[in-house]
Amino acid sequence: MVEAVRKPRGRPVKSSSEPDGATRDRLIDATGELMANRGSVDVTFADIAKATELNPALISYYFGNKAGLMMALLRRVLGESLTNLEDLAREDVPPEEKLRVHIHGLISTYFRYPYINPLIHQLVIDEPQTFGPMIAEEFSRRAAGIQKHILDEGVAAGRFRDVDPLNFYFHIVGACDQFFHGRYQMRHIFGIANIDERRELDYADYLADSLVRGLAT
């Protein structure tokens, strides 16, 4: 198992049976799994090499450095979720329903990939000038765009009152984030050690309901 990891020099060693894309995907998947299992974003190249039985030099080859790998992981998990929500925003569905699916989508993404926020935090702490703007442009802008589209449709249909998309953005993102952040509050005020799927769904239902009522004309 450790053999491939120990190959010391020369061209990166990878499995000869899989194309480049598949190797790259395996490295990203393994990184996400390690972070999810450990409950921490503190994962080294050596950890990933061991888990994938691939040479650590491959990680540098594909991603440059650890920040590059982290961004690739964010692009995978957040990018996929945002693409689904963008597709939905274009469909012929009432704006209330789109908003409900948007909220459920954001919350279930945070639930499935609990490392998203710590990962973003780590990147922005390490290199604020690079990753602050990059993450805002690549991910936040898309989420804000989807929300503005839904708001505009709802206003045009006479079903939503007109609210500032900026206020709406911070309201939604804050309410979705906080549920997975405040673990000491969850435990010490409400006596809940872990968020299970039932509670996650209950919160998404509550929040979607409150936001739709808050917008209704």
Does the protein bind a copy of itself through residue 68 (CB under 8 A)? Answer: no
Name, in order, each residue with C-beta under 8 angstroms of 65's C-beta and a sequence gap of 6 or more: none
Smallest gap, in angstroms, from Cβ of residue 99 to a copy of itself?
12
Q: From the CB of 176, what's the least distance to a copy of itself, in Å?
A: 7
CA-based nearest residue to 69, from 82, 85, 88, 52: 52
Q: Is 117 in the site for a copy of itself (CB under 8 A)?
A: no
The letter for the amino acid at 88 is: L
Does residue number 189 form part of the binding site for a copy of itself (CB under 8 A)?
yes
By the 8 A CB rule, do 82 and 139 touch?
A: yes
Burial class (CB in 10 A: 0-12, 13-18, 19+), 98: buried
Distance CA(87)–CA(200), nearest Å, equals 23
Q: Which of residues 146-165 bind a copy of itself (CB under 8 A)?
A: 163-164
- Site size for a copy of itself, by CB under 8 A? 46
Query: Closer CB to a copy of itself, residue 49 or residue 212?
Result: 212
- Interface with a copy of itself includes 213 (CB under 8 A)? yes
Q: Distance (Å, rounded) from C-alpha 36 to C-alpha 108?
A: 15
Task: Draw the binding track, 120-149, toward a copy of itself (x: CB under 8 A; -: no contact).
Answer: ----x-------xx-xxx--xx--x-----
Three-state DSSP at 44 gives coil
| Residues of this chain that bind a copy of itself (CB under 8 A) | 124, 132-133, 135-137, 140-141, 144, 163-164, 166-171, 173-179, 181-190, 192, 202-203, 206-207, 209-211, 213-216
